[in-house]
Structure 1
Amino acid sequence: MKIWQTGAQEKPFERDYVTIGVALSAMVLFVGLASSVLPQVYRAAFSNAAPPDVTLVNALLLNIALIAMGWRRNRTLNAKIAQHMAAEREARELSQIDPLTGCLNRRNAIETFDALLAKCRMDGAKLAVFVIDLDNFKQVNDLNGHAAGDEVLQETVARLRAHLPPDVVLARLGGDEFACAIAYSGPAPEKVDRLAQKLIGSFAEPFASCDHLMDITVSLGIACNGGLDYSGLSGSRTAAKANANDLLHWADIAMYNAKKKGKNRYAWFEASMETDLQYRSELERGIRDGITNGEFVPFYEQQIDISSGDLIGFEMLARWRSPELGLVRPDIFIPVAEDMGVIAELSESLMAQAFRDARDWAPHLTLSVNISQVQLRDPLFAQRILKLLVQHNFPASRLDLEITESCLETDPQQVRSIIASLRNQGIRISLDDFGTGYSSLSQLRTLPVDRLKIDRSFIASLRDENADKTIVNAIFSLGNGLKMPITAEGIETAEVLQNLRDMGQFSGQGYHYGQPEDAASVTAMLASKGLLLGPAAVTREEGADDTGAKPDEGELRRSA
């Protein structure tokens, strides 16, 4: 593969002019002395003439010694020059070439891509820049060690080069991220699409390293300097004026977009991707500031016994009161908080607020809290929850933690251990969104949970009398067989409620019973029903409700 070299050219070393001068003088003197002394030596040896002048002979010998010394010094100096030049070449290569893979490094790649970009503009061609990233490479290092990771990177380069044209430069940008640039002509870059598909297809075969077979895929992003609509880019940049840094940045954004859509694929950069990235960046910054400033607050959704209509508890739902965005729903900020690694801090902050709120509720009212899959990767999760309960003096028996089936995908044994620890302290565990995950019946049988929550997508199918109740009936029968009570999520109409009542004993929640409300609204509602204890209940005169009447004594006894 052709390697583009940039940087300063090798500079010749300064010559040793003193040595050269001495050597030239010694040679001139040698010629003069030799022409005088050697004939005298010859005549003395063969014709009995007088011996040569001793002084001249000594001068000649000294001259020969000077010439020998100069030659030796010159040879030593040349060897040092060659060694120094080789070291310079090696240092320059190390500054330009990645030593592990033999690819250009990032700095030299940018210089090279800029040169290719200028040539394409002169020739009227376009340049497509690829950014290629291995999927889940960190897992390879964690499971198999860095030596295996190095082998994977070297094999990755070999597979990429097998499908790249010989004149295409391949660069390692860092870690497991690579880049190359392809010149093409014409309005439709079919050639680029075909090459992207070949590069991705080259990773279909598993990697063999350290006696292990590893399935590794790549995600690929592409950006070009023309031919596509890049209107809407931030600032004054345009594709026509883009430099190598711009193209690498755009291709990098496209690559992460490909990862977000499922990995093992490629994506062309679009201007909207940069807008989404900027929004994501602002969202991340807002989340960090929001946690610090206490902008995340719990809202509460009622949980009702369907048969009796009694209030049995609340599910805590996270909300973000953002100064810029207003009231933000959890489906927007929770996935971002998980990716940022702040979900545990955010969740524990909300739980602390919820425990303080729920302490004043009637003792029979439970508090349900959703737990992220990320939190269950922490082996100390159970201890953290118990510490919060102790700090806020909230009974463990009133807490219901909701997990999803996806929590079992990473480390089922650890999840079971955490759940067992929590249940030993009296905390109840519900399996949320049941029916949408991947847990097998054998896992469900051995999983120590107390309740199943049917996903709202199944409950929504019960909106009319002729609805297909097969799945809900099956889940209800399964729950009965496992002796697990069932909660139905997403009850929004009277028809759905009636269908559930006809099936059997459920608890339920949904907009039919009211929208989720903040702590102040819930406190007011519970106070009107006489379902408050402690300081919040004392705010009313002797327990009187808004009409001046005292709450029903039987209801108070049930609350006590």
Structure 2
Amino acid sequence: MSALDAWELPTSCGIWCWYSNATAAFVPWLSQSSVPHEQLIEQNRRFDAALENMNQGLCMFDADRRLLVWNKRYLEIFGLEADQLHVGMSQRQIIEILVGLGRYAAGTTVDALSEGTRTSLIEGQATSILRELADGRTVSATHRAMSGGGWVATFEDVTERRRNEDRITYMARHDALTDLPNRMALHEFGNGMLGQPMPGRSLAVLCLDLDRFKLVNDGFGHAVGDQLLRCVAQRLQREVREGTTVARMGGDEFVVLHRVKDLKAAEALARRLIASVSAPYELDGLRVEIGMSAGIVLSGEMDRDVTQLLQNADLALYQAKSDGRGTFRVFEPQMDESARARLNLERELREALTNERFEVHYQPLVKLSSNDVTGVEALVRWRHAERGLVSPAVFIPIAEETGLIVPLGEWVLRRACEDAKRWPAHVGVAVNVSAHQLRQRNFATMVFSILSESGLDPSRLELEITESVLLEETDANLETLHVLRSFGIRIAMDDFGTGYSSISYLRRFPFDKIKIDRSFVREIGEKPEAAAIIRAIIGLGQSLNMTTLVEGIETDIQRNAVLSEGAHEMQGFLFSPPRPAQEVDALFKVEHSKNKVA
């Protein structure tokens, strides 16, 4: 039976009708109405269908707050049986039933729910109120006042939508790979911690950067790299206490926000984090080892924005990586001054490149058995208007980091080929190539173009690369080197013996020359093992049919020592320091005249 059964209405006053599924409505109509009875029934049928197919639960109350209409969806949302509601019951009675059945979250009272409805209706417009249910769902209740009194209340289960919104909000503030807070959340947490200082405690900001991560990523693939980052995140979280924030800034950079009583505590944390992250990893059967560097800064009494602290900690991190990695450095004010000076130098470097304020000096490569010059190495110099000649050790790292090494390297190569074209045909020219240059897809094409423009025979050009070139994108770089060598260009490995895998790369690429690093030469006569290492490298080069050149020869003792071990060539101040192009021109003119007289 319908919930309207309790209403006794004379048919002379109008008609009443009830709807299936315990949905009821009172629809008064005058008996004199001109609308045919059949049309009324059809309209009521449509109204019934609309109510029963709503996605929202619905209740209608009159001006006395008594129930007139409800639908099936309302019963489903709140888990009510059809006979628990009836027309004419008050809204408070319904709320009492729901609270008594434990439908609302713990602590929800009848008075609070009633007051929420009253307040929303006073505001004069449809207002939604979120109701938390005991089973974890969230229901949005909207109240719309009707003219003449009463209101319509609709109820929508928004649990899934709320979860999706919460998930979107969470994802916007967290790193998808590691589930750590991201950059945006880090700033919120940091500013919050600064805004609520603790007596006797400072906020320590630690900027962390993984060492050798790129080698793992490139060598084993991004899947292993991602797995490694997740493992690093887990280790960092294990090493900190509750209330400490560990965030990922992107790439292989992390940040830790940690309250400490003094700098020693922050340093102890940095050591612990570095040790934990640097321990070996077992990833899908692979043993992986990396390291980590850290920069530390402590907040002061006036600090209220974490942005500056992050910048300072990053400067300290940069210093730690410059000092050899695998360690930490504490921010000092002069680091900020150094950073500004570096930015100025970068700006001036760009201007110098635009205005071609660079020079190429050349250091002779000498055949040990005859003391003849077989070639020269091109070394770039920056002639600064105020500083004079700026050391390459100062500006080359900046050029590498900013990418300026690509246009600068092209300029040096072009100038070296043009200069070499003036010298005797047996004299080659060696030009250093960085990993950034070789990474350019058009590098080989650019080299061929310069050779064509200058008219220099490709066999007279020697490109020197360091191990770092092969550590990055090995297959692509090796392919480029093979293309260059097939064109007649010679390829030399520079600074041999200072890297991790020099010997393994000799197996993968047939270098024409090995340049033994000067660090081994300095110790000849002081450490017996220095001569033994040089002997081994020279023997290796001979067995692979590669020319061996020893760098940094400054004394006759050093020259005689490497000559006795079988080295082919030398380079160093004993014969000549790097010289401007015009002095090299004069050198070859002198040699030419001597040969002519002979």
**Distance in 1 separating the partners of 2:284 and 2:503:** 36
Deviation (angstroms), 1:136: 5.6
Letter in 2 for 1:182: H
**Distance in 2 separating the partners of 1:306 and 1:143:** 39
Give 1:538's aligned residue: none
Give 1:160's aligned residue: 236
Q: Which has the higher contact order (CA 8 A, sep 6+)?
A: 1
Deviation (angstroms), 1:495: 4.6
**Distance in 2 separating the partners of 1:474 and 1:264:** 30
**Distance in 2 separating the partners of 1:219 and 1:467:** 32
Deviation (angstroms), 1:406: 5.2
Q: Within 5 Å, give how 1:429-448 maps onto structure 2.
A: 429-438=491-500, 444=506, 447-448=509-510
2:338 paired residue among 258, 261, 276: 276
Deviation (angstroms), 1:246: 1.9
**Distance in 1 separating the partners of 2:411 and 2:432:** 13
Deviation (angstroms), 1:454: 3.5
Give 1:397's aligned residue: 459
Residues 470 and 326 of structure 1, relative CA distance in 2, 3 Å threshold: same
Residues 69 and 182 of structure 1, relative CA distance in 2, 3 Å threshold: same
Runs (5+) with no aligned partner, structure 1: 1-33, 42-51, 227-238, 532-550
Q: Within 5 Å, give how 1:242-281 maps onto structure 2.
A: 243-281=305-343
Give 1:55's aligned residue: 13
When normalised by structure 2's length, the TM-score is 0.65
Runs (5+) with no aligned partner, structure 2: 1-5, 18-24, 29-59, 72-141, 144-150
Residues 105 and 290 of structure 1, relative CA distance in 2, 3 Å threshold: same
Give 1:491's aligned residue: 553
Give 2:99's aligned residue: none
- Asked if 1:323 is matched to 2:281, the reply is no
Find the residue that maps to 1:389 and give its secondary structure: helix
The Cα offsets for residues 403-428 of structure 1, whole Å up to 9 and x where unpaired, read as: 34554545666555544443433333
Say which is worse superposed, 356-365 or 277-286, in terms of deviation: 277-286
**Distance in 2 separating the partners of 1:99 and 1:449:** 44
The Cα offsets for residues 256-313 of structure 1, whole Å up to 9 and x where unpaired, read as: 4344445454433222332333333333333333322222221011233444444333
Residues 349 and 269 of structure 1, relative CA distance in 2, 3 Å threshold: same
Find the residue that maps to 2:277 and give its secondary structure: coil
1:194 paired residue among 245, 268, 280: 268
Deviation (angstroms), 1:507: 3.5
**Distance in 2 separating the partners of 1:518 and 1:272:** 36
- The aligned length equals 474
Deviation (angstroms), 1:367: 1.5
Aligned 8 A contact 1:492 1:512 in 2: yes
Residues 325 and 411 of structure 1, relative CA distance in 2, 3 Å threshold: same
Deviation (angstroms), 1:61: 4.8
Aligned 8 A contact 1:134 1:219 in 2: yes
Give 1:222's aligned residue: 296
When normalised by structure 1's length, the TM-score is 0.68
**Distance in 2 separating the partners of 1:109 and 1:468:** 50
The Cα offsets for residues 82-123 of structure 1, whole Å up to 9 and x where unpaired, read as: 7799489738944973273555443443343233224326x2
**Distance in 2 separating the partners of 1:135 and 1:441:** 22
**Distance in 2 separating the partners of 1:102 and 1:440:** 38
Give 1:363's aligned residue: 425
Say which is worse superposed, 275-284 or 403-412, in terms of deviation: 403-412
Say which is worse superposed, 208-217 or 274-283, in terms of deviation: 208-217
Aligned 8 A contact 1:322 1:328 in 2: yes
Find the residue that maps to 1:192 and give its secondary structure: helix
Give 2:580's aligned residue: 518
- Asked if 1:116 is matched to 2:193, the reply is yes
Residues 155 and 80 of structure 1, relative CA distance in 2, 3 Å threshold: farther
Deviation (angstroms), 1:347: 1.6
- Considering fraction of residues, name the structure with more strand: 2
**Distance in 2 separating the partners of 1:392 and 1:386:** 10
**Distance in 2 separating the partners of 1:468 and 1:98:** 52
The Cα offsets for residues 5-53 of structure 1, whole Å up to 9 and x where unpaired, read as: xxxxxxxxxxxxxxxxxxxxxxxxxxxxx9xx97xx8xxxxxxxxxx69
Residues 430 and 271 of structure 1, relative CA distance in 2, 3 Å threshold: same
**Distance in 2 separating the partners of 1:419 and 1:451:** 14
Q: What is the aligned-residue identity percentage? A: 34
Give 2:206's aligned residue: 130
Q: RMSD value over aligned CA atoms?
A: 4.5
Letter in 2 for 1:119: Q
Give 1:98's aligned residue: 174
- Considering fraction of residues, name the structure with more helix: 1
Give 1:3's aligned residue: none
Residues 363 and 495 of structure 1, relative CA distance in 2, 3 Å threshold: same
